[in-house]
Amino acid sequence: MPATITATEAKNRFGEVIRRVYKNGETLIVERGGLPVVVIMPIQEYQATREEYFVRFSRQLGQAAERQGLTEEQLLQELEEDKQSVYQETYGAET
Protein backbone atom coordinates (compact mmCIF):
# COMPACT_ATOMS: atom_id res chain seq x y z
CA MET A 1 0.00 0.00 0.00
CA PRO A 2 1.50 3.36 -1.02
CA ALA A 3 2.27 5.88 1.71
CA THR A 4 0.25 9.11 1.79
CA ILE A 5 1.68 12.59 2.31
CA THR A 6 0.13 16.03 2.22
CA ALA A 7 0.81 18.48 -0.58
CA THR A 8 2.42 20.81 1.95
CA GLU A 9 4.76 18.05 3.14
CA ALA A 10 5.64 17.20 -0.48
CA LYS A 11 6.41 20.86 -1.16
CA ASN A 12 8.45 21.43 2.01
CA ARG A 13 10.39 18.16 1.73
CA PHE A 14 10.56 17.71 -2.02
CA GLY A 15 14.19 16.56 -2.04
CA GLU A 16 13.45 13.95 0.62
CA VAL A 17 10.33 12.82 -1.24
CA ILE A 18 12.32 12.35 -4.45
CA ARG A 19 14.99 10.37 -2.58
CA ARG A 20 12.34 8.11 -1.01
CA VAL A 21 10.86 7.37 -4.40
CA TYR A 22 14.17 7.09 -6.27
CA LYS A 23 16.29 5.20 -3.75
CA ASN A 24 13.64 3.14 -1.94
CA GLY A 25 11.29 2.54 -4.86
CA GLU A 26 8.36 3.92 -2.85
CA THR A 27 5.14 5.12 -4.41
CA LEU A 28 3.60 8.11 -2.65
CA ILE A 29 0.07 9.46 -2.86
CA VAL A 30 -0.10 13.22 -2.36
CA GLU A 31 -3.27 14.60 -0.80
CA ARG A 32 -4.60 18.13 -0.83
CA GLY A 33 -7.40 18.91 1.57
CA GLY A 34 -7.63 15.23 2.45
CA LEU A 35 -8.23 14.17 -1.15
CA PRO A 36 -5.69 12.20 -3.21
CA VAL A 37 -4.58 14.38 -6.12
CA VAL A 38 -1.33 12.95 -7.53
CA VAL A 39 0.96 9.96 -7.30
CA ILE A 40 4.75 10.11 -7.24
CA MET A 41 6.30 6.84 -8.36
CA PRO A 42 9.61 5.52 -9.66
CA ILE A 43 10.08 6.10 -13.38
CA GLN A 44 10.44 2.35 -14.03
CA GLU A 45 7.02 1.71 -12.46
CA TYR A 46 5.51 4.57 -14.46
CA GLN A 47 6.97 3.25 -17.72
CA ALA A 48 5.79 -0.29 -16.99
CA THR A 49 2.30 1.00 -16.18
CA ARG A 50 2.16 3.01 -19.41
CA GLU A 51 3.38 0.04 -21.45
CA GLU A 52 0.80 -2.26 -19.85
CA TYR A 53 -1.96 0.27 -20.56
CA PHE A 54 -0.80 0.69 -24.18
CA VAL A 55 -0.75 -3.07 -24.78
CA ARG A 56 -4.23 -3.48 -23.26
CA PHE A 57 -5.60 -0.50 -25.22
CA SER A 58 -4.06 -1.72 -28.49
CA ARG A 59 -5.52 -5.18 -27.99
CA GLN A 60 -8.99 -3.76 -27.32
CA LEU A 61 -8.72 -1.43 -30.30
CA GLY A 62 -7.68 -4.31 -32.55
CA GLN A 63 -10.57 -6.45 -31.34
CA ALA A 64 -13.04 -3.61 -31.97
CA ALA A 65 -11.62 -3.10 -35.46
CA GLU A 66 -11.95 -6.82 -36.21
CA ARG A 67 -15.58 -6.82 -35.08
CA GLN A 68 -16.24 -3.98 -37.53
CA GLY A 69 -14.36 -5.71 -40.32
CA LEU A 70 -11.65 -3.04 -40.56
CA THR A 71 -8.13 -3.78 -41.72
CA GLU A 72 -5.18 -2.29 -39.86
CA GLU A 73 -4.69 0.21 -42.68
CA GLN A 74 -8.33 1.29 -42.54
CA LEU A 75 -8.16 1.67 -38.78
CA LEU A 76 -5.00 3.79 -38.99
CA GLN A 77 -6.61 5.95 -41.70
CA GLU A 78 -9.70 6.53 -39.53
CA LEU A 79 -7.52 7.40 -36.55
CA GLU A 80 -5.55 9.90 -38.64
CA GLU A 81 -8.77 11.49 -39.94
CA ASP A 82 -10.13 11.77 -36.40
CA LYS A 83 -6.84 13.30 -35.21
CA GLN A 84 -6.96 15.88 -38.00
CA SER A 85 -10.57 16.71 -37.20
CA VAL A 86 -9.87 17.22 -33.49
CA TYR A 87 -6.78 19.30 -34.27
CA GLN A 88 -8.76 21.52 -36.66
CA GLU A 89 -11.55 22.00 -34.11
CA THR A 90 -9.04 22.84 -31.41
CA TYR A 91 -6.49 24.94 -33.28
CA GLY A 92 -8.20 25.84 -36.54
CA ALA A 93 -5.44 24.33 -38.69
CA GLU A 94 -4.19 21.00 -39.93
CA THR A 95 -1.22 19.21 -38.35
Domains identified in the chain and CATH numbers: 3-41 (3.40.1620.10), 45-91 (no CATH)
Q: Residue 53 in contact with residue 46, Cβ under 8 Å? A: no
| Per-residue pLDDT, 95 | 57
From CA 67, how far away is CA 49, in angstroms rounded? 27
Query: Is 14 strand, coil or helix?
Result: helix
| Per-residue pLDDT, 94 | 62
Q: Along the 95 residues of the chain, how does pLDDT read in single tens digits?
A: 899 999 999 999 999 999 999 999 999 999 999 999 999 999 999 999 999 999 999 889 888 888 989 888 888 898 899 999 999 999 986 65
